[in-house]
Amino acid sequence: MPHRLVLGSGAAYLGGTLGAQVSEFLKRKTTEPLFNVPPAVTATVAILVGIHLFRLFALTDAQDTQLLLTFAFIPARYGLEGTLGAPFPGGFGADLWTFFSYAFLHADLLHIGLNLAWLIPFGTALARRFGAWRYGLFMLVTAAAGALAQLVSDPGTIEPMIGASAAISGAMAAALRFIFQGHGPVETWRDGVGNGEAYQVPAMTLLSTFRDARFLLFLAVWMGLNALFGLGAVSFGSQPGQAIAWQAHIGGFLAGLFLFSAFDPVPRGQLDTEPSP
């Protein structure tokens, strides 16, 4: 079956200075290293890299194509499958698990490398706050939200979608709810103090988040670049047929932004203040 991969690149769509600053402050070493990656994030990286290496070295091209058809997210499963002459492998089970499994697959080393470059800083912030099981569940939920957004916006396409960037987009949105708070990660980094308590400050309310100029700048750059991908003004990947799954990015981001409070274990409190100018 001819198809082109729709990639979910977690880094290609954002090269703005704000994103670089957020990544940089997490890398700085202070009295307690901020870039001490939690085990949950280390495990995520190991799983993603392990799966990609297995596909690269253990599978033939035909086997890898079969794996993609079984575990990538393909909107045509949900409506047009009967017109294609043969069902997709996996049956009803794949109709369910591909909402999640596509996020564990990547097109090439560049694709997975860019995604990991964003997963590590934002995933670290999220895992430090949520703990391992909430972090894992949150990433799966935002991955599914990205797949749903792709299905709704591009129904019937046979192009497989792969990549973790919808989930990473959700992690970005969630982290932006608390990293700019007073006594939070950004402020303690500026003061030269690093501690786990910085990740446990009460988060901004959703209304306060949308009033924060730093969040709005991040959102404008991020949405703008995704719009360019959608219009075809910016492309990604050297292989013919590779495209950015910008709809999935937006779906994951919005899910992360609005579902953050449902996962957040930190109670609201006095520090949940309006953003500083």
Cut 0.85: pTM above it: no
Position 227 scores a pLDDT of: 77
Average pLDDT, the chain: 82
d(CA 147, CA 168): 13
Band of residue 182 on the pLDDT scale cut at 50, 70, 90: confident
CATH of 6-263, one of 1.20.1260.10, 1.20.1540.10, 1.20.120.920, 3.40.50.300: 1.20.1540.10
The angle, 0 to 180 degrees and rounded to 10, between the axes of the packed helices 165-175 and 132-153 is: 120
Position 50 scores a pLDDT of: 98
Residue 72 neighbours by CB distance under 10 Å: 23
Position 234 scores a pLDDT of: 44
Alpha carbon 248 to its chain's center = 9
223 or 81: which leads in pLDDT: 223
Q: State the average pLDDT over residues 59-80.
A: 92
**Taking the chain, what is the end-to-end CA distance rounded to the nearest angstrom?**
54
Question: According to the per-residue pLDDT averaged within each range, which of 9-18, 28-37, 51-60, 259-268 is highest?
Answer: 51-60
Position 165 scores a pLDDT of: 94
Q: State the average pLDDT over residues 98-110.
A: 96
Band of residue 80 on the pLDDT scale cut at 50, 70, 90: low
Kindly report which listed range (39-43, 58-62, 160-164, 184-188) carries the lowest average pLDDT score: 184-188
113 close to 173: Cβ distance less than 8 angstroms: no
Domain edges within the chain: 6-263
Question: In 3D, which of 267, 271, 229 has the Cα closest to residue 250?
Answer: 229
Position 270 scores a pLDDT of: 45
